[in-house]
Structures are given as structure tokens and as C-alpha cells.
Structure 1
């Protein structure tokens, strides 16, 4: 694969950061207030899981774990997918840090990545960058039992929502986005997790994230339990 110039990767990440909070990865700066995501994965992001369950008013930590996994998946897929289709660059998330007090992400050193036109199997590379190197590690570290099918559905749902957000910002990219998401939804653990059901990239999953179980919760639009 062909390496992209460091400056180009940084510019691509900064450009898509304007799409919203889930697309933002901070670059550089002081290490104070941050820690390697590998440390967070080893503990299953237990701090965020507990805080999330408390915020939603539930004692079911598996709901907190599901929500944390879903949110983290969104923070990974969003910038990776957007950079790929907008700038033709796949950012490498090696060395990623997480904020000590929340879910924000940061790359402490100069970001690296690959040029899309030099990647022979693009969906496989994107899957490895997000799922293979990050989401699988988080799933393995969770301290509460959450069904693998549910987690796969969360990863797929986060991917689809990231694609819809990119589409809203760049409607001219619907074709490449749809093709890429369709390919990813047929890759690895994402296969069989759900399908794109409309031109606006609306998604219907085959599992449930459990959000409906929290007080005042409800079924999500893409939920398998929705009417």
C-alpha cells in the first residue's frame, strides 16, 4: 500500500472534523489528560461504562457497555470513512489516545495513512483499521457479558450513521459511500448484521442495542424490534 504524505493525512482529518463531533480526532498536543486506547480496552472502558449506565439511570452495566461500544465505533468509523471518500486517504489509527475524562480521541504524533488508489482491498483495510485493531480489542476487554451479535450490530449501525452524516455534508458522494458501506457490511463480523434499506443510506439492523431498556428509553429507528 502507498503511504500518504503526513501533511495530507492531517489535512484530511482536520477537514472532516468539521462534519461533527464524532468526526473529530485531535492531533498532537500535550499528553496530559490522555491515555492509550489499548489501556482503555484492557479495562473494557469500565469508567465510561459505569458513567453511561448511571447517566441513563440503569443498573444494567451491559446497557452501558453497549452504548459505550456504539459511541466508540461511531468515533472510529466517522473520520475513517469520511477521509476515505472525501480525500482519498485511509487514516491509520495506530497510537490512538482516549481522554481520561470522556470518549474524545487524539493522535499524539504525526498522523499516517494510505492513499486509497494504492489500496488493493479497500473494505478489508478499513475493516482492519476499525474493527480488527480497535473494536475487537474493546469487545474482548468488556467486564460484562454482551452478545457478540449485539456488538456487531452496534458496529454496523455506527458505520451506517457515519455514512449518513457524510452524505448530509457531501451528497455528491452517495455512490462511493453506498458501495463502500455495502462492501463493509459484507465483511467479517459485520456480515449478516443488517442492510442498507433506502437511498439515503437508512439502515435496518438484525439486533438491538438495548437502549429501549433504560428509563424513558425507546427503540431506535434501525432496531430489529422496531415496527
Structure 2
């Protein structure tokens, strides 16, 4: 199936999978390319800084790097959901070049992304890795590490967790809606992507369940616990530095 201008096939999946396109009214928003190239020395900040501040306020995070970690994982989940959803339902993915994706850093969750032009690409693992890992998560990881000193290993663990989470949601939807072709395609793509050098070693995938080897730091926010795929079975009492911090 060819990509349609509004990516309508994603709408039944809801939430993290839906992507606004140029066919909808767009108000001026920064591109993700602009967000990734913010300079750590820029005290006034920009879209990425604003997003981390918003997350920090919402979570009452005691450290900026905790908010940076959570913000990064949320954006990674959006990017993986869109690409996996399109790969599974269309057999093609849209070009998510950071210069084509506008982002509202002040929106709630999930992140508000708007694609200014729908350009189809193949849905093979190498293309997905090029679009999401190299096009977005590499520059995002570099930016957050430079500005907030978040460990790169932690951020790649977040990226793997977000990928596995998107795949799990898509797998559930496929089974609930009788899409017998979608679930195996999603699982195969996910397994191959988790073997990519940037994600290899971040955790273990067993069918649709993923167990990561480090922690996103969410347990450090007031009232926070551990995520379902966390390396910790329960929140550490003494709050030691998490693996790969």
C-alpha cells in the first residue's frame, strides 16, 4: 500500500503512532534539526531545553538529567512508533528527515510532531536505522549528553526500550484486530534493529518482552517506580548511580 498524504492508516493505532502532516494547519514550530543543533553554551536555550524544562516541572525531577532522559525516551517512542507502524501497515515509511519534522516542545505527551512533506522510503531495517537511529537519535543523544551530561549508554538503552515498547503495542493491536501479517513483520524488524551496533547489548528481547541492562532514572522522581523493562526489580533504596549512568 502506498503512503497516503495524511498517513490515515496510523489513526486506528492512536497515541504515539499518529503523525500530523502538511495537509493539516501548521503553526510556526521549530524543526527537530534545529533542536538537535542547539548549543550547550546558549543560556537562553531553545526547543530542546524548553522540552526538558517542561518534563522536569511535570515530574518534579530533582535533576535535569532525569528530565532529559525521560524527554528523550518519549521522543524516541514517537519516532519508532511512526516508522514501525508505517512499515507494518504500508510496507513503506515516510522520510522523517529532521528538517521535515516540526516539533511542539510545549505539548503534552505524546510529543506533537508534524511532517511537512510525505516522501516514501523502503521499509527495510537498514532504512529504518538510517532514518531513526542516525537521522534522529544519534544527534539527540549527542545534544543531551553535551548539555545535561546524561550517559550515552543510558540514552541508547532508552532508545532500545522505546523501540521494544512501540513494537509491543503494535503487536497487541495486530492480534486484537486480526492483522496476522502485521505482528510477525513487526517482530522481525524489531529484532533486527535491536541488533544494530548502536543498540546491541542494551537488553534482551524475548518474543515481545524486553529487559534492558540499564535504567532511565525514572525511579528518582517523587513517587516514581521502576519501568516494566528496567534492570532493577524494584527502586533502589539508597539511590546508587544506575548502570551506564
User: TM-score higher than 0.5 here?
Assistant: yes
What is the alpha-carbon distance in structure 1 between the residues aligned to residue 105 and residue 214 of structure 2? Answer: 31
1:192 partner SS:
coil
Deviation readout 1:166-189 (Å, 9 max, x if unpaired): 111112232222211111110021
Counterpart position of 1:176: 185
2:29 paired with 1:34? yes
RMSD: 1.8
Counterpart position of 2:218: 211
**What is the deviation of 1:202?**
1.3
Counterpart position of 1:167: 171
Counterpart position of 1:193: 202
1:93 to 92, 96, 103: 96
1:104 to 92, 109, 112: 112
**What is the deviation of 1:50?**
1.0
**What is the deviation of 1:146?**
0.7
2:156 paired with 1:155? no
What is the alpha-carbon distance in structure 1 between the residues aligned to residue 61 and residue 233 of structure 2? Answer: 21
What's the TM-score once normalised by structure 2's chain length?
0.81
**Gap regions ≥5 residues in structure 1:** 117-121
Deviation readout 1:32-82 (Å, 9 max, x if unpaired): 242211112223711110111111112300010000100000010001011
**Gap regions ≥5 residues in structure 2:** 39-46, 235-245
What is the alpha-carbon distance in structure 2 between the residues aligned to residue 13 and residue 205 of structure 1? Answer: 31
1:125 to 123, 127, 131: 127
Higher relative contact order, chain-length normalized (CA < 8 Å, sep 6+): 1
Count of aligned pairs between the two proteins: 213
1:41-56 paired onto structure 2 within 5 Å: 41-43=36-38, 45-56=48-59
